[in-house]
Chains A and B, each alone.
Chain A
Amino acid sequence: MTPEELRDAQQDIAVHGARKGDFVRLGDTDLVIRVENDDRETGNELQIGFGKNARDGMGMRSVRSSESCDVVITNVLVIDALLGIRVTSIGIRNGRISAIGRAGNPDTMNNIDVVVGSGSVIIPGEGLIATAGGIDTHVHAMTPRVCDSALSSGVTTVIAQEFGSFWGVGISSSWALQQGHNMFAHWPLNVGILGRAAGSTRDPLLEGLEGGVCGFKIHEDTGAHPRTLDTTLTFADEYDVAIALHTDGLNEMSSVADTLNVIGDRAVHAYHVEGCGGGHAPDVLTMAGRDNILASSTNPTLAYGINAADEHVAMIISAHGMNPELPSDVEIAHRRVRQATMAAENRLHDMGVIPVTSSDALGMGRADDTWRKTFAMASMFADHSILDGSVAPDEIAVSNERVLRHVAKITINPALVHGLSHEVGAIKVGLLADIVLWPYASFASKPNMVIKGGLPAYGVVGDPGATVSNAQPLVIGPQFGAYGASAQELGVHFSNGLSQVVVAGRRSVPVQNTRTVRGSDMVRHGILGEVQVDPTGHTVTFNDQIVSSDAITHSPLTRTFLI
């Protein structure tokens, strides 16, 4: 391009954002995507503002929202595991996505998919990336502020195991659960609570269902015995709820092979499958790659870094009620920390073997770090030539598939694993409009706006007394959707078919299809095979090939953006 054409292009990008064929670098990572599609018609892009075309009769049709939409996010670069990478507009009606495609007034513009009414709320998306809201399936809600932390990072659905600074690891008291659901209704957040599957009999499990849990947690700290495992899985099959499993790290009653034997071909969500977060040492990672085992990672081991191992011993002792003065506690904590399985876990993510990432917030993970860590990990395996200038721009190795795979890990796949995909997990017509808007420059690190059920619930807000809304100090904080009765109404309580719980102002939705979901259903994953860990924990193979990765010294999305 000539200098003049280049200037025009920069101006066009500043106004309209990326167009089809453009390359976009995500944040400060090495991930470069290429825009696959653009639903806009050149010259008919809908634009808001002074002298723009989103005006009555021009780009907006004078009809009620029932014939147009309540809210429209215009001209945004969608990165969605199902929809792909495309510039489009998203129409929202009654809190759900009602249409996706070209936005405007069909009376004056060609082939309009999203009819914009004269009264529609417009959220301009130029220069922003839209993803589905993050789904964090592993949250220890030890402090209420964990909900703020999650929302501020682009997480809109949380599967929690507590609601207070107490020993929970799943709650099955129906009285306590009713209180818990009431408490969570304070935030514009979808919340499901896991019951504690620590009983060898069905009665405590039934009580949990009556109390409105969305699944159960089996944890070695409350008993991950073969009997508990079998009772809970049989029960789950009857009532269609998900089972999250933290296996027996001591190998006290069973080794990993025995656990797999008890599970049989029943679906299980294997939490922190690498093992540092807990589970059969040193070989719990061998659970990954099987069709009925839906494996996930927690975020401290992701983007495997040079300090990963060093932070973990103290973390384990602190999170699991252990005593650093007790040599036997220190010794078993050390057994859980293995660099080789961490290095392998990251590679298995890139290969599409491990389909889900989560936080393990306040229980060995960070509530607001899952998007960041997931994409820092994706960047580890990207072509690094973009930054050193060693290749011409048109030879840039495009990371579209890798990026879509990593988006799937924190959106659609956890939704499928926990039976939430009829409500959340993708930018798809019919689903809740839980959408995160990210600047290109800080994608996956700091969102610009978190839209919950169609309205801004969290996001960048500034000096409230200023003339403009973006005056410093900008903070990521509550938006109007986080206040009043709307906070209750915009979120959903994920529940089950036997629940007796009523949460004032909030819809309860049973989870679905948790028992039939398989690893091969995992979007942009589904790579099955045999993971083996040698008895020392020093070597990991997948289908007999060694899998590993190099620890990174600098994590993208982090130093540039965090004070």
Chain B
Amino acid sequence: MELTPSEQDRLLIFTAAQLAQSRRARGVKLNAPEATALIAHAVIEAARDGASHAQALVAGQTAVTETELLPGVGSLLTGIAVEGVFDDGRRLVVVDFASTDTNIPGEVIRLEVAPQVSTAKTIDIIVRNESTIGISVTTHMHFFEVNPRLKFDRAAAYGMRLHIPAGEHVDFPPGQDVSVELEAIGGNRVLIGFAGLVDGPLDAPGAKEQALAKAREWGYLDGGQS
């Protein structure tokens, strides 16, 4: 058979699925490893039978039913990743079981709305993407130094970043105006790197003027007063 490590791993899934299958056949309610094995097995076997990726996904999603599971198991059956050998090669399938069980191990209960952005003071600016492709900007990017093809009041954006939850971004589609809120960058306010327009303390005497001059020189579009 000349089985690779990955192929040998398939046999582990098969063994666990056979065990789970025999337990299910006796009417035993399934726990997390048992149900997971049946779901992974169903995907692999669907792929082997010539199913499409979409069909194998459905096979995984329907491999077990809520009534076959122990209480508290349904919510654990999320993000089950498995690679089947499809007719066009090996493919990754990720299965989420749609559970309605209210017994949720590890459940987080939040009673009040938690803020997701800072309480910092903000300014509004309008940004226009003058290029032909979409541009996205993330939270902790120094907005002053974003893509030269975005046109907005650069001076107003000096030392600022987007006022949105950390890790999110704003899309600027080509040829459109987008209004965004900016807040001041915190900490020591020292920016090293980025596009190289500042590369030092934001608030040092003359730093802002120098950065603006550099931006002009390098062709950054600026919609502000100049």
Give complex CA distance A236, B34 in Å.
50
Q: Which residue of B lies closest to A387 (CB)?
A: B103
Q: When A12-B116, A559-B70 are in contact, do A441 and B189 touch as well, CB less than 8 Å?
A: no
Contacts of B166 in A (CB 8 A): 43-47, 52-53
Instruction: Say yes or no: A561 contacts B31, CB within 8 Å.
Output: yes
User: Is A359's beta carbon under 8 Å from chain B?
Assistant: no
Instruction: Say yes or no: A472 contacts B105, CB within 8 Å.
Output: no
- Which residue in A19, A43, A59, A443 is a CB contact (below 8 Å) of B106? A443
Stretch binding the partner chain, chosen from B3-11, B123-131, B212-220? B3-11
Q: When A107-B188, A109-B186, A467-B83 are in contact, do A43 and B4 touch as well, CB less than 8 Å?
A: no
Q: Which of A31-50 contact B (CB under 8 A)?
A: 32, 41-47, 49
Total A-B pairs in contact (CB under 8 Å)? 207
Give complex CA distance A104, B140 in Å.
11
Q: Which residue of A lies closest to B4 (CB)?
A: A465
Contacts of B185 in A (CB 8 A): 108
- Which residue in B31, B79, B113, B140 is a CB contact (below 8 Å) of A470? B79
Q: Which residue of A lies closest to B73 (CB)?
A: A560
Stretch binding the partner chain, chosen from A21-29, A158-166, A318-326, A426-434? A21-29
Chain A 286-299 near chain B by CB (<8 Å), digits 1 or 0: 00000000000000
Contacts of A23 in B (CB 8 A): 108-111
CB distance from A479 to the nearest CB of B (A): 16
- Which residue in A110, A440, A467, A475 is a CB contact (below 8 Å) of B186? A110
Contacts of A443 in B (CB 8 A): 106
User: Is A203's beta carbon under 8 Å from chain B?
Assistant: no
Q: Which of B35-87 contact A (CB under 8 A)?
A: 36-37, 40, 70, 72-73, 75-76, 79-83
Q: When A42-B115, A42-B116 are in contact, do A53 and B140 touch as well, CB less than 8 Å?
A: yes
Instruction: Say yes or no: A47 contacts B13, CB within 8 Å.
Output: no
Q: Which of A379-405 contact B (CB under 8 A)?
A: 387, 393-394, 396
Instruction: Say yes or no: A561 contacts B106, CB within 8 Å.
Output: no
Q: When A43-B166, A57-B194, A466-B92 are in contact, do A21 and B140 touch as well, CB less than 8 Å?
A: no
User: Is B112's beta carbon under 8 Å from chain A?
Assistant: yes
Chain A 42-76 near chain B by CB (<8 Å), digits 1 or 0: 11111101011101111101100000000000000
Q: When A9-B110, A53-B138 are in contact, do A110 and B105 touch as well, CB less than 8 Å?
A: no
Give complex CA distance A304, B56 in Å.
44
Instruction: Say yes or no: B169 contacts A9, CB within 8 Å.
Output: no
**Counting chain A CB atoms within 10 Å of each CB, which of B81, B92, B117 scores highest?**
B81
Q: Which residue of A lies closest to B94 (CB)?
A: A468
Contacts of B104 in A (CB 8 A): 25, 441
Q: Which of B135-175 contact A (CB under 8 A)?
A: 136, 138-142, 163, 165-167, 169
- Which residue in B13, B136, B189 is a CB contact (below 8 Å) of A51? B136
Instruction: Say yes or no: B82 contacts A18, CB within 8 Å.
Output: no
User: Is B19's beta carbon under 8 Å from chain A?
Assistant: yes
| Contact count band on B | 35 or more
User: Is A257's beta carbon under 8 Å from chain B?
Assistant: no
User: Is A473's beta carbon under 8 Å from chain B?
Assistant: yes
Instruction: Say yes or no: B107 contacts A472, CB within 8 Å.
Output: no
CB distance from B156 to the nearest CB of A (A): 19
Contacts of A473 in B (CB 8 A): 9, 12-13, 16, 37, 40
Q: When A23-B108, A440-B106, A468-B92 are in contact, do A44 and B118 touch as well, CB less than 8 Å?
A: yes
User: Is B192's beta carbon under 8 Å from chain A?
Assistant: yes
Instruction: Say yes or no: B108 contacts A24, CB within 8 Å.
Output: yes
Instruction: Say yes or no: B111 contacts A393, CB within 8 Å.
Output: yes
Give complex CA distance A471, B10 in Å.
11
Instruction: Say yes or no: A472 contacts B112, CB within 8 Å.
Output: no
- Which residue in B6, B12, B108 is a CB contact (below 8 Å) of A13? B108
Contacts of B27 in A (CB 8 A): none
Give complex CA distance A106, B187 in Å.
5
Give complex CA distance A563, B30 in Å.
9
Q: When A23-B108, A560-B32 are in contact, do A465 and B73 touch as well, CB less than 8 Å?
A: no
User: Is B190's beta carbon under 8 Å from chain A?
Assistant: yes
User: Is A421's beta carbon under 8 Å from chain B?
Assistant: no
- Which residue in A56, A394, A441 is a CB contact (below 8 Å) of B76? A441
Contacts of A51 in B (CB 8 A): 136, 138, 167, 169
User: Is B206's beta carbon under 8 Å from chain A?
Assistant: no
Give complex CA distance A9, B115 in Å.
9
Instruction: Say yes or no: A560 contacts B31, CB within 8 Å.
Output: yes
Q: When A24-B106, A58-B141, A468-B92 are in contact, do A44 and B186 touch as well, CB less than 8 Å?
A: yes
Contacts of B76 in A (CB 8 A): 441-442, 560
Contacts of B180 in A (CB 8 A): none
Give complex CA distance A468, B80 in Å.
12
Contacts of B169 in A (CB 8 A): 51
Q: Which of A527-563 contact B (CB under 8 A)?
A: 559-563
Instruction: Say yes or no: A439 contacts B9, CB within 8 Å.
Output: no
User: Is B33's beta carbon under 8 Å from chain A?
Assistant: yes
CB distance from B107 to the nearest CB of A (A): 5
User: Is B205's beta carbon under 8 Å from chain A?
Assistant: no
User: Is B221's beta carbon under 8 Å from chain A?
Assistant: no
Give complex CA distance A18, B138 in Å.
23
Q: When A53-B140, A473-B40 are in contact, do A13 and B110 touch as well, CB less than 8 Å?
A: yes
User: Is B1's beta carbon under 8 Å from chain A?
Assistant: no
User: Is B114's beta carbon under 8 Å from chain A?
Assistant: yes
**Counting chain B CB atoms within 10 Å of each CB, which of A1, A9, A59, A394 scores highest?**
A9
Give complex CA distance A443, B107 in Å.
12
Contacts of B106 in A (CB 8 A): 24-27, 439-443
User: Is A265's beta carbon under 8 Å from chain B?
Assistant: no
Contacts of A8 in B (CB 8 A): 113, 116
CB distance from B56 to the nearest CB of A (A): 13
A-B contact pairs, 12 of them (CB 8 A): A8-B113, A25-B108, A28-B105, A41-B186, A42-B119, A51-B169, A58-B141, A108-B187, A465-B6, A471-B81, A471-B83, A563-B33
What is the interface of chain B, defined by CB distance below 8 A to chain A?
4-6, 9, 12-13, 16, 19, 31-34, 36-37, 40, 70, 72-73, 75-76, 79-83, 92, 103-120, 136, 138-142, 163, 165-167, 169, 183, 185-194
Give 9 new A-B contacts, CB below 8 A, not counting A52-B138, A56-B193, A563-B31. A22-B110, A42-B115, A108-B188, A109-B187, A439-B106, A465-B6, A560-B31, A562-B31, A563-B33
Nearest 3 CB-CB pairs, A to B?
A465-B6, A440-B106, A441-B106
